[in-house]
Amino acid sequence: MAVSPARAAAFAILLRVEREDSYAAELLHSEPLAALSSRDHGLATELVMGVLRWQSLVDERLAEASSQKIERLDDEVLIALRLGVYQLRFLSRVPARAAIFESVELVKAARKRSAASFVNAVLRKIAGAPAEGAFASIERLADERSTDAIGLARASAHPLWLVERWTERYGFEAARQVCTFDQAVPETAIRIHGEQSAVGNTDGELAAAGVQLAPGRLLAGARRVLAGDVTASRAYVEGRVSIQDEGSQLVALLVGRGEKLLDCCAAPGSKTALLARRNPRAEVVATELHPHRARLLQSLNRLPNVQVVAADARHLPFSGAFDRILADVPCSGTGTLARNPEIKWRLKIEDLHDLQLRQIAILKSVLAHLVAGGRLVYSTCSLEREENEAVVEAAVEGAMEFKIGDCRGELEQLRESGELRWKDVGSLLAGPYLRTIPGVHPCDGFFAAMIERR
């Protein structure tokens, strides 16, 4: 009997994540998976994201049951075992015999037939162990015994060094909320573009297409998808709807209105689209370093005011000046672990220094293109100070023509205009900066600073 399409797809994706530093979310939405039925795609997504979210606990269980050190196992064998353990201990609806059989078949199909009996023995041993109840349920994180960083890191399947940093920076309770948020399937948020009447029409159109929506938690212009496939809707295909986390939408709103805008690290383009639609008469230039990612932005060509340029933000190939700039720079992504759980297993503390140097270089470069009286928004989806406050402070140090603006005023204006629904504006601030914390706020973790040129 052949391996099911869902498990074969999950195995292939996890292997690429392990070997190539690929991102699971991108692979799950790639063309090869388009042939899967919605049911198989759903199971493949559950398996891939579940294994990655709970990988340390999965490996801990494997280590207890295996006669071999798991770090010495071939990648194919390790991935097949992880898939088996996740199904046995995390998915109550999957029969044990199916989880074991298909993991064995996966190693055979991967030309590791000699390991088949080993995989079978390990998984049978795990399947025969006493029931562990909520072995990896999110409810574990509320266990009162997890009262320190070590207990929280283990229970929530997070690296200890990250949990220790968050505990020190934000406090233990906030760190627990971050970890809880990271281990749950995040809500899908969308933004419906257009005037109020058009938004209302699109709401109705999506409802007719079977997409069930709820109001945004942060923003009036956002919606949360409760059920249905937005990507199959005509509104999505035509660009009238964008999938975008509410925190990401809020960052773009901070940029404000201008006549000439630059988004200097623009892919995949959701913030660019929001800026262009919010400033329909403005000229918007969107740059992206990698040509293949710049090609992703070509879909924005349906917006007549957007020009896409493949360019390094550290060395922009033009001398023009802009009154509004968004520098949403490449970062560690520690604020997006619910969507990108593989990051927590590959990120190292020394990576933060390398990222910081690149971020400072980008920020200093694009600041040179800001006109007097203009505004630049520097942002990341990182929770780490090295990539946030430290970058801003380093970039403006000694440059008297620049000043750090206070995000409070802009947030209060958004609140007064009805665009910001979140009542506690102060909770969104860390000094003059915007700071969203996953779990504390209903969105990914974002940082944003407003820099103005005198």
Residue 450's beta-bridge partner residues?
377, 405
Please report the sign of the dihedral spanned by the C-alpha atoms of residue 206, residue 211, residue 213, residue 219: negative
Q: What angle do CA 250, 24, 179 make, to 5 degrees?
A: 60
Looking from the CA of 17 toward its CB, the CA atoms found within 13 Å total 27
Q: Among 179, 265, 381, 443, which one carries the catalytic annotation?
A: 381
Residues sharing a CB contact under 8 Å with residue 370, sequence separation 6 or more, in sequence order: 321, 322, 323, 325, 376, 451, 453
Give the residue from 277, 285, 383 showing the smallest Cα distance to 326.
Answer: 285
Are the beta carbons of 63 and 90 closer than 8 angstroms?
no
> 3-state secondary structure string, 367-421?
HCCEEEEEEEEEEECCCCHHHCHHHHHHHHCCCCCEEEECHHHHHHHHHHHCCEC
Maximum separation of any 2 CA atoms in the chain, in Å:
71
CB-based contacts of 82: which residues, under 8 Å, 6+ apart?
Answer: 14, 51, 55, 58, 59, 62
Give the other-Cβ count within 10 Å of 239's Cβ.
Answer: 14
Q: Is 381 a catalytic residue?
A: yes
Element (H, E) at 163: helix 160-170
Residue 282 DSSP one-character state: S
Q: What is the per-residue burial (b if ≥16 Cβ within 10 Å, else e) of 248-278? A: bbbbbbbbbebebbbbbbbbbbbbbbbbbbb
Which residue, 96, 76, 75, is CA-closest to 87?
Answer: 96
Joined together, the tokens standing for residue 186 give: 């995040």
Q: Which residues are catalytic?
A: 381
